Every structure is written in structure tokens, then in C-alpha cells.
Chain A
């Protein structure tokens, strides 16, 4: 299981692709800015146009960073969940993180019609939505955490997570049924996902949370590799299964939870990227897979965001739709070509 030179080459290549895509991402958008001006602004100049500099520094750059962070953390939490639940269909949201967030946001936007006491227009800004999403995820995760200490079987935890998803979806349906068109529209727009809403200070908070999630994940690399043989073997090799289960849940909550809070429930990346990485690197070893999914997740998200902003037009597409539109065919194509679902 030693990383050899082929892995190093693949990593260098992936990293270069990520940098290129990053530059491409910030060069394209509804306002066309020449590439030379982009480079000039990035290196400290003003590119000859103050508006360009403003758009780049305060809209496109934070958005590109958000895309990288969101893609990386979703991909990593997907990998963690697939290994923990020994299930190739698991994604970052199997523990009910996104459904918890949806519930929080739905309550914030649409719950006001059920509780007429609270004024409507007060708390519907993007910050309020991020807080509501975090609170919702947190409550659902707390329930999952309490369950995790009661059930001995990790598979039961997977089903409990799915059940929480159904429960919250049902509550959201009830709320939608009783809410007006404007509220419904606002909720649906949130569920489309949005990478471009973050200020620099929010990006910094995002970075801090994501890096703590990554750090915990790195500390779990060895037990994660042990889990590839199943929990019983992992335990027989000296692993504290319960502790590791908690650590993995915490890391996933930080990673997927922060993305959901800052960018909405972004679908598909978390499920697809670990599979793409396994196809590229052809190993289940987490020492290779973990950096691989971090970079690949960022790459895929940058691609999706570049497409979503529909370069050279004034329109943009919902990111959540683009991730699936691009990601699903890629995974299908890879699986059909390789004929084997590696896990």
C-alpha cells in the first residue's frame, strides 16, 4: 500500500487541472473580463477597470473558493459515509444532514404562516437561512448521535438516517402545502443551491470548519482502512469501533453540514466523486483516496459552477441541477466502460 510514482503523477495532473479550472472559472461569467485583466487584478493591479476588479474580488473569487471548499468537503464526507456504512450508495446526506437543514430553512421561510405571531420579513436574509440550516442539521444529527450510542449495528444507523430524511421531508411537504406562493418560491430557490452568496468573512468561517473536518478525517485514515475489512475484523485488529464511528459522524457533520448551511443542499457530488476517484486511482486505500477525492471534488464542482453561470449570457442555472446533469452521465459512462463498481 505504498504510494508510488504513478500516484504522484496523477496527483500532480489533477492539481494542475484544478488550478486551470479555477482560473477558467473566475475568467468566465455574465460580464466578460479579458484574461489579461484577470491576471492583472489577481496580481494586485486593477485591470484597467474598477468594476471588473470589484466583480472579480468580491463576487467571482469568493464563489470559486466556495466551489472548491464545497466540492472537496462533499466528496470527502461521501467517502467517509461509503466506508463507514460499507455501502457504495451512501452519500454525505445519508445521516439526514440535508433533510435537517431543509427542515430548518422550511420552518424559517414557511413556518411563519403557521405561527402568525412572528413577523415575516425579519429573518429571511441569507445569514438567517444559514443559521436555520445549521440548526436544523444539528438537531437531526443530535438525534442520530443519540441513536448511535444505542444501536450496536451501523447498518441500523443508516436506516435511521433515511427514516429521519423521510420524516423531515414529510414535515416540509405539510409546511409547503400551507404556505403561499412567494414563500414556496423562496424555499425552492434555497433548495437549488447557491455558491455565490458568501462574503469573504463567511468564506473564512467556511474554510475553518472544512479544515477541522479534514483534520479529523486524516486522523481516521488508519481505522477507515481497517473498516474496509468490516467492523468485526477492524475490532479484532485493535480498533475502537464506537469511537471511530463517532469521529466519522462528527467529521461528516462538519463537512456536509457547513456546505449545506453556506451553499444549500448540493446534490450528487458526494456520491459520485468517491466512485470517480476509485476508478482513476484503482485502490480503496484511504491514504490515496482521501487527497484524491478532495481534489476531484473541487474539480467537479468548479466545472459545474463554470457551466452553471452560463458564460457569455446574463443567465445562470441552479447549481444543484448542474451537478446532477454533469455528474450522473459521467458516472454511468465510467461504470459501463469499466464494468466493475470498485469498492
Chain B
């Protein structure tokens, strides 16, 4: 039973070409991407600045149209979903700040229930119990009544993850959830994401620059290189030398024993 759950496919990408159009110019970033993401997996996406991580995330979340190929979410093309149906399958955690920082923690998490609430946003008993459970699981009980402007970066990130969790979707996509955090809180957030993926049987996909942490924690890693990519378990990627190709070799070297980069002397 557990094994069946692990292989439950949720997102399938076929011959995907990513990029974007600005005016009449088309910028093509990656060609022929193919991979499958399943429930119960924590998946990181790494790659240098400007390689197209955000573009790929935006394409996968249906904000940008793909330049070619297809994306299937639970066996249905992502473009065929209505916004509301998509909101029940996929939730996002973005890098942007929220405009209304006076919202209390519990209110932000309650907003995650929007796809399920009625026309005026009334919270049913089910909604309230899911919100309560989310607050408990993320350890937000003590700050639940605080407005967001009083939170630290790490707390705020946890709240936004809680909001996505309350949206109760099989797939959660996060854009660089650990930037601006200290090393302890980076590890804290990634451990939390791992727990969410495994315990709640969700597929959690996030972009990151913390290659050393990602290699220790993630089930699979998508390495985006210039015009190429690798998608595998971290140990296989290290063995294959996928990370060596990520950056120019003049300043840093990848140390395959520690799974991290070192400054070149």
C-alpha cells in the first residue's frame, strides 16, 4: 500500500519547451523537458541565476503558456483546468510579500480555503478543522493571533506554507522558499517541506540555491543547466557529475564527498 502511494503520479511533463515572449521576441530557455513528479516526493529545482527556474515554475503552475509540449496535472492538461479547478489541485508559495500585512496569521491561513468556501467566504466546520490542523502541524499556535508585520522572515514563510497547505492540494509549488533565511531556518523550512511531502502524501516542488541542503534532504532534484537538465535522486546526480557542469570552474568546485561547493584556492 505504501509503495503504491509513493508512485502515485501527479504531474507529467512531456517534451516541454519553456521560455517567454516579450513583444515580438521569443526567448527560449529549455527544450524537450521530460519528467514525472509523484505524491509523497520532495523535489528541488536547482540551477544558476537566470537559467530559467522561475520561468519553468511559472509554466508548470499555468501562469505562462509553454512554448511547446504538454503538462498533465492528474492526467489532464493544465490548460484545460478552470482557475477554480486548478486551485483545488495546486497551491503556490511565491517570493513576493503580501500587501495586507495587517492580516493575522490565522486569517492568512484561512484564505487558503478560498477555493472551497461559498460566495462570501464563510468558513464551514470542515474548513475550520483543516485550518486548526494546519496551525497545529506547523507549530503556529503561539503566533496565530499576530498580524503578519510582527513576524520574522522565517515565521512569515511558515505561515505562507501553512496557507498553501490549508488549500489542500496534491501539488505544492514554492519559489525559493529559503531565501533571506539563516542556515538554521533554511534547514527548518526544508525539513518541514519534507515532512509535509511524506506525512501528508503531497508532491512538493521548490526552487532553491542551497545545493548542499537539497542533496541531504530531497527525494529527487531537477538540475537545470544551460540548454540541458538532469532529473534524478541526489546521490545519482553527484555520481554522474551533474553539478560540476552548473557553474564556470574558475571560482568554485563541486566536492562530491560533501555534496557542496567549495571555493577554489
**Which residues on A are within 8 Å of B, measured CB to CB?**
1-2, 86, 218-219, 221-222, 225-230, 232-233, 235-240, 278, 282-285, 287, 340, 342-343
Distance, CA A287 to CA B110, complexed state (A): 14
| Cβ-defined contact, B61 with A236, below 8 A | yes
Distance, CA A342 to CA B102, complexed state (A): 6
| Cβ-defined contact, B83 with A235, below 8 A | yes
The listed residue (B91, B92, B102) touching A278 by CB distance below 8 A is: B102
The listed residue (B83, B100, B120, B163) touching A240 by CB distance below 8 A is: B83
Residues of B near A233 (CB, < 8 A) are: 92, 94, 98, 111
**Contact (A226, B120) CB under 8 Å given A238-B87, A239-B83:** no
| Cβ-defined contact, B100 with A222, below 8 A | no
Q: A228-B98, A342-B102 are in contact. List 18 more A-B contacts (CB 8 A).
A: A1-B106, A1-B121, A221-B120, A222-B114, A222-B117, A226-B111, A228-B103, A230-B94, A230-B96, A232-B63, A233-B98, A236-B87, A237-B115, A238-B85, A238-B86, A240-B83, A283-B104, A285-B107
| Cβ-defined contact, A222 with B83, below 8 A | no
In the complex, number of A-B residue pairs with CB atoms less than 8 Å apart: 92
Residues of A near B87 (CB, < 8 A) are: 236-238
| Cβ-defined contact, A228 with B111, below 8 A | yes
The listed residue (A235, A284, A287) touching B100 by CB distance below 8 A is: A284
List which B60-90 residues lie within 8 A (CB) of chain A. Answer: 61, 63, 82-88, 90
Residues of B near A1 (CB, < 8 A) are: 106-107, 110, 121, 123
**Which residues on B are within 8 Å of A, measured CB to CB?**
61, 63, 82-88, 90-92, 94, 96-104, 106-108, 110-112, 114-115, 117, 119-121, 123, 149, 163, 167
CB closest chain-B residue, reference A287: B120
Complex A-B, nearest 8 residue pairs according to Cβ-Cβ distance, in ascending order:
A238-B87, A86-B99, A238-B84, A228-B100, A222-B121, A237-B114, A236-B92, A342-B102
CB closest chain-A residue, reference B118: A222
Indicate the member of A1, A221, A222, A230 with the most B CB atoms within 10 Å. Answer: A1
Residues of A near B100 (CB, < 8 A) are: 86, 228-229, 284, 343
Minimum distance in angstroms from A253 CB to a CB of chain B: 23
Residues of B near A343 (CB, < 8 A) are: 99-102
Residues of B near A2 (CB, < 8 A) are: 123
Residues of A near B83 (CB, < 8 A) are: 235, 238-240
| Cβ-defined contact, B99 with A237, below 8 A | no
| Cβ-defined contact, A237 with B111, below 8 A | yes
| Cβ-defined contact, A232 with B114, below 8 A | no
Minimum distance in angstroms from B206 CB to a CB of chain A: 15
CB closest chain-B residue, reference A219: B119
9 A-B residue contacts at CB 8 Å? A225-B111, A225-B114, A228-B103, A232-B92, A232-B94, A237-B115, A238-B82, A284-B103, A342-B102
Residues of A near B98 (CB, < 8 A) are: 228-230, 233
